[in-house]
């Protein structure tokens, strides 16, 4: 998160198209935090620091862990890649800083907003829960 915005990626898969938070699997010997940092860089070109753990969600595909993170660099956000699939199989088409107001109703973003403290909402200029 940064300045009222959240980094998201646009994925296009057969029969599905959606925006989501960057993420992916944990490699052998990697901590959850290390995996989040690596995946954010691979998918968005952003170097991040983890601020804190937010939540865990069990779903059909496994377990999802979500962290609050901030960018460390001023590098341009751009669509990255999934190194586990070849060039023809890439599903990440775009990466953008999305305004929280624009995506506040997204399933994952709405959970993140609910978990943030008042201080964090002020720090990241997130006022999506105010009418």
CATH class of the region 5-123? alpha beta
Instruction: Share the mean pLDDT of the chain.
Output: 91
| 61 CB-near residues (< 8 Å, 6+ apart) | none
Identify the helix (H) or strand (E) that includes residue 97.
Answer: strand 92-99
Q: How would you class 63 by CB atoms within 10 Å of its CB: exposed for 0-12, middle for 13-18, buried for 19 or more?
A: exposed
- In tens, the pLDDT along 91-124 reads 899 999 999 999 999 999 999 999 999 999 999 9
For residue 86, what is the DSSP state?
-
The predicted structure's pLDDT at residue 128: 54
Residue 67's nearest CA partner among 130, 123, 7, 11 is 7
The predicted structure's pLDDT at residue 83: 75
Three-class secondary structure of residue 76 per DSSP: coil
Residue 97 backbone dihedrals phi, psi, to 5 degrees? -80, 115
The predicted structure's pLDDT at residue 131: 45
Ordered by start, the domain boundaries in the chain are 5-123
Taking every pair of C-alpha atoms in the chain, what is the biggest distance, in angstroms? 45
The predicted structure's pLDDT at residue 54: 98
- In tens, the pLDDT along 37-60 reads 999 999 999 999 999 999 999 988
Q: Give the predicted TM-score (pTM) of the model.
A: 0.90
Model confidence at 27, pLDDT cuts 50, 70, 90, reads very high
Strand partners, 88: none
- In tens, the pLDDT along 69-91 reads 999 987 799 999 877 776 677 88
| 120 CB-near residues (< 8 Å, 6+ apart) | 51, 68, 126
Residue 115's nearest CA partner among 58, 11, 124 is 124
Angle at 21 between CA 68 and CA 106, to 5 degrees: 100
Comparing 7 with 73, the larger pLDDT belongs to 7
């Amino acid at each position: 998160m940064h300045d009222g915005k959240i980094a998201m990626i646009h994925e296009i898969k057969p029969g599905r198209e959606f925006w989501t938070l960057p993420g992916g699997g944990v490699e052998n010997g990697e901590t959850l935090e290390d995996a989040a940092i690596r995946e954010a860089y691979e998918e968005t070109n952003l170097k991040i620091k983890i601020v804190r753990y937010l939540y865990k969600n069990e779903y059909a595909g496994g377990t999802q862990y979500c962290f609050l993170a901030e960018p460390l660099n001023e590098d341009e956000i751009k669509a990255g890649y999934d190194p586990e699939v070849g060039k023809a199989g890439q599903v990440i088409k775009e990466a953008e800083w999305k305004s929280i107001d624009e995506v506040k109703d997204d399933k994952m973003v709405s959970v993140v907003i609910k978990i943030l403290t008042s201080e964090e909402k002020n720090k990241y200029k997130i006022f999506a829960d105010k009418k």
